[in-house]
Amino acid sequence: MRDGYGVVRLAAMSDVHCGKESAGALQATFAQAAQAADVLVLAGDLTDYGTAEEARLLAKELAVVNRMPVVAVLGNHDYESGAEQEICSILSDAGVRVLDGDSVELNGVGFAGVKGFAGGFGRGALGPWGEPIIKQFVHEAVNESLKLETALARLRSPSRIALLHYSPVRETVEGEPPEIFPYLGCSRLEEPLSRYSVFAVIHGHAHNGTPEGKTARGVPVYNVAMPLLRKRYPGGALLRLSENPLNLPDRRGGDDGPPPSPVPEPVETTVGR
C-alpha cells in the first residue's frame, strides 16, 4: 500500500515474553519492523507473567514504531496473573489493537484474532465426554473456535489474516515433544478457516515447532514464535516479514461451490537483531 504496488508488508512475531529484564531488549527489533513493514503483528505471550508492570514495559518498547499499526492477541502467559483486562487496556492506550473474538482492517487487510486454546489435533482431539471438567475444557476450545468464526464473518476485506496464539494445525507444532502436542493447539480452530476466505494464519506458542504448515484446504499457517525464529534462521532472526497481496480470490468451498485455484503464498524473509 505504501509504495503503490498493491502490497501490504506484515512483520510478525510472538512469544516476546516481555519481563523485568526486557527494558531496551526489544526496541531494535520493533524499529526494524517499522522500517521494513506496514503492519506489526504480535501473536500472543506478549508478557512473561501476565502483569500490568510487564505490559507497561512492553508499551515503552513499542514506542519506537511511532504510528505504525500494531495488531495483537494475548497468549496463555498473559493470563497468568489475572490481569489480562488491564494488559489490554495498557496496550490499547499505546496504540495496539488487541483482538479477542473481534476483527479490524488495517491498510486494507482484515485481521480476525483470538487466543485459541488447547485440545489436540485430528482424531486425537479431546472430545466432550465424561467428567464435567473435561467437558468444560473442550467447551473452551469450541468457544474460541466460535469467536474466530464470528470475527472472520465480520470482515469485508478480500484479504484476510487469522491471528491466533495456539496453533490450528499439527504441522507447525511438530518438533515439540509429541506428549505436549495437545497443549499447543486444537484442530477445532481450523474449522472456521475452512469456511471463510483466509489468506494466511499466524500463530505462536510452539517454541520448538515448525515455521510453516498448511490447513487441510491449503491455507498457509506460520508459527512466528520468537524463540523458534531465533533458532531456525541464521543471525538470530526475531520477526518474520510477509508481503500480503490485496484483492485475493475467495478460498471458500462448501455450499459456495468448489474451492478456487490456490492463490500465491506470501513472500517471506527474516529480519535479524
Could you tell me how many helices (H) and strands (E) the chain has, helices first? 6, 12
> What are the distances in angstroms from CA 127 to CA 133, 137, 142, 165, 166?
12, 9, 10, 21, 18
**Structural contact between residues 139 and 128, judged by C-beta atoms closer than 8 angstroms:** yes
CA 100 to chain centre: 11
The pLDDT score that the predictor gives to residue 84 is: 97
Question: What is the rounded average pLDDT of the residues 245-255?
Answer: 37
Cell of 43: 501473536
The pLDDT score that the predictor gives to residue 239 is: 65
Mean pLDDT check: name the lowest of 31-35, 160-164, 217-221: 31-35
pLDDT reading at 168 higher than 90: yes
pLDDT reading at 262 higher than 80: no
**Structural contact between residues 51 and 83, judged by C-beta atoms closer than 8 angstroms:** yes
Q: Amino acid identity, residue 194?
A: S
In a 13 Å sphere around the CA of 179, the CA atoms on its Cβ side amount to 0
Domains and CATH numbers, the chain: 7-271 (3.60.21.10)
Q: How far apart are the C-alpha atoms of 163 and 3, rounded to whole Å?
A: 25
* Interval 187-246: pLDDT, tens: 999 999 989 889 999 999 999 999 999 999 999 999 999 999 988 876 655 667 776 544
**Structural contact between residues 163 and 113, judged by C-beta atoms closer than 8 angstroms:** yes
pLDDT reading at 71 higher than 70: yes
Q: How many CB atoms lie within 10 A of CB 47?
A: 31
* Interval 93-127: pLDDT, tens: 999 999 999 999 998 899 999 999 999 999 889 89
Q: What one-character-per-residue DSSP string does 226-258 give?
A: HHHHHHHSTTT--EEEEEEESSPPP---GGG-S
Cell of 22: 526486557
**Structural contact between residues 221 and 203, judged by C-beta atoms closer than 8 angstroms:** yes
Burial 217-254 (b: 16+ CB within 10 A, else e): bebbbbbbbbbbbeebbeeebbbbbbbbbbebeebbee
Q: Coil, strand or helix: which one is 121?
A: coil
pLDDT reading at 76 higher than 80: yes
Cell of 47: 508478557
